[in-house]
Structure 1
Amino acid sequence: MSGRTTGRRGKAERAPLNRERVVTAAIALADEKGEAGVTMRAVAARLSVEAMSLYNHVTGRDDILDGMVDAVFSEIELPTSGSGWKTAMRDRAYSTRAALLRHPWAVGLMDSRSQPGPATLRHHDAVLGALIEGGFSIGMAGHAISLIDSYIYGFVLQELSLPFTSDAELADVAGDILRDLPADMYPHLTAIIAERASGQGYDSADEFEFGLALILGALPLLPANPSTEVNTTPENRGV
C-alpha cells in the first residue's frame, strides 16, 4: 500500500462548523470592532467559510447577538449559596464589571435580548435566589437587581468613556484642562481637577467600591415598595 497521502488528507482538517464556533468568532470581532463589526459576512470571513453556511447553525445576526450576550453572562461568576447576600452581590458586581470591561460592546446589550439563553437565565435565577435566601421578598429582590445593575452598567459606560487609561494619561489630561480653565471662575472644579492631576485623586476600583458599598448598605433600609412608601417626617417634607 502506498505511503503517500492525498492532498486532501495531507491538509490539517478544519474543525466542523457549529453554533459555538460562530458565536466565538462573532465575540472576537466585536471585541476588536464593536457590535457594528459583527455582520454575517464578517463572521463568515473570520471562519473562512461562505456566509450562507452560517445559516445552518444560526438564524441570522440577532441569533448571533443572543449567543454573544449569553456567552458574556456565562463569564460572570454565579453567587455562592450561603455566602450572605451582600458578599454574593459584591462578588457578582465585580465579576460583571470585569466581564464588561473585557467586552465593552456588551454593556448596552446585556438586558436587550428577547430570547435569553441558558447562561442568562441561570445567572438571573441564581442572583434572585441569593437575595431571597438573604431575606428579600421577590419584589424587593427585583428592585435590588435593577438598582445594582443600573449602577454597574452606568459605571462601566462612564469608565469606558474616560479619556485616559493610566495615571500618567490622567495627569496629562487634567493638566491640559487646568491650563485652559480660569480658576477664579470655576474654583471648585479647578480644585478637584488639580487633585486628579496629582495622580492621587482617582482610582476606578475605589470609585466602583464607594458607590457599590452605598447601594448594598442602603438596600436593607428600603421599604418593601420604595415607589409608594416614602418617609413623611417633617424633615423630608421640607417643614
Structure 2
Amino acid sequence: MTRMARRRILTREGIVAAGVAVADRSGIEGVSMRSVGKELGVEGMSLYHHVTNKDDLLDALAAWVFEQIELPPADAEWRSAMERRAQSARLVLRAHPWAIGMLESRPTPSLALLRHHDRVLGWLFDAGFSAASATHAFSAVDAFVYGFALSESTLPFQTEEGTEADFADAVAPDPAEYPNLARSLSDLLGAGSYSYADEFDVGLTFILDSVERSLTA
C-alpha cells in the first residue's frame, strides 16, 4: 500500500471530533490546529483545507456542543421542553466541562445556536410569554444550568459516586465554631441518602415554578 493510500482522509466532521477529544483531555486551551492535527496523525497545516483557522475550529466546537443538547419539538409544552433541554444540557456540560465558558461566547453565532435559541423562544411565545418575560425565563434557566455545571466540574468529589459523606467527614467543621454548617451537614448526610447532584432537579423546579407563576400572575 502506498503512502498516499495510507493517508487519513480528512473531513470537517472528523476534525471537529478530534477537537472534542483534545478538549476533553486537555481543556479548550489545549485545542490548536497543531494539537488537533496530531490527534488525527497529520500535520496541522492539513486541517486548513477544511477549517479556516483556529477561530473557525472553536466556532465548530461550540456548534457541536449545541447539537448534542436535546431539543424537544417545536410544539412541545413549554415547561416539559425547558426541563428536558436543561437536563440534557447539564449532562452534556458535565461530560464536556470545557464547553461551559464558550457556548454563548463565540463572536459568530452558529446555525446550531440560532436554531436552539429560536426553538426555546418559540415554546415560551406559544405559552403566552412576552418577549421580555421569555428572555427573563430563558436567561434564568441557562444561568442556573451553566452555573451548576461549573460547580459540578470543580467539586473535590465525584457526585455520582456518593462520596459527599466521605468528603464531609474529612473536612468536618468544629460545631462550636460553625454550628449552623455542622448542623446542616449532619442533617443532610445523616440519613445517608443525600447527593449534591439532586440539587439540580430541586433548583430547576424552583426556577420553573417561579417562571410559571409569573405567566399566570
- After TM superposition, the score normalised by the length of structure 2 is 0.90
Amino acid at match of 1:8: T
Which residue of 2 is the match for residue 191 of structure 1?
183
What whole-Å deviation, never above 9, does each CA across 1:51-107 have from its counterpart, x for those lacking one?
111112112211111101100100111132333111110011001101111111001
CA distance in 2: counterparts of 1:95 and 1:187, whole angstroms: 37
CA distance in 1: counterparts of 2:191 and 2:10, whole angstroms: 49
Which structure 2 residue ranges, 5 or more long, are not aligned? none
Over 3 Å off, 4+ runs: 11-15, 195-199, 220-223
Amino acid at match of 1:176: A
Q: CA deviation at 1:197?
A: 4.6
Q: Does 1:150 align with 2:143?
A: yes
In the alignment of these two chains, the number of paired residues is 215
Larger-Rg structure: 1
Which residue of 2 is the match for residue 210 of structure 1?
202
CA distance in 2: counterparts of 1:91 and 1:113, whole angstroms: 25
CA distance in 1: counterparts of 2:121 and 2:153, whole angstroms: 28
CA distance in 2: counterparts of 1:97 and 1:168, whole angstroms: 18
Amino acid at match of 2:205: A
What whole-Å deviation, never above 9, does each CA across 1:114-173 have from its counterpart, x for those lacking one?
112222211111111111111111222111111110010001111111111155532221
Q: Does 1:171 align with 2:165?
A: yes
Is the deviation greater in 91-100 or in 72-81? 72-81
CA distance in 1: counterparts of 2:78 and 2:152, whole angstroms: 26
Identity over the aligned pairs, expressed in percent?
44
Which residue of 1 is the match for residue 21 of structure 2?
28
The DSSP-based 3-state class of the residue aligned with 1:222 is helix
Amino acid at match of 2:139: S
Which residue of 1 is the match for residue 41 of structure 2?
48
CA distance in 2: counterparts of 1:12 and 1:104, whole angstroms: 37
Q: CA deviation at 1:16?
A: 2.1
CA RMSD of aligned residues (A): 2.1
User: Do the aligned residues in 1 keep the contact of 2:164 with 2:196 (CA within 8 Å)?
Assistant: no
Which structure 1 residue ranges, 5 or more long, are not aligned? 1-6, 224-239
CA distance in 1: counterparts of 2:191 and 2:8, whole angstroms: 49
Q: Does 1:76 align with 2:57?
A: no
CA distance in 2: counterparts of 1:170 and 1:73, whole angstroms: 31
CA distance in 1: counterparts of 2:15 and 2:76, whole angstroms: 36
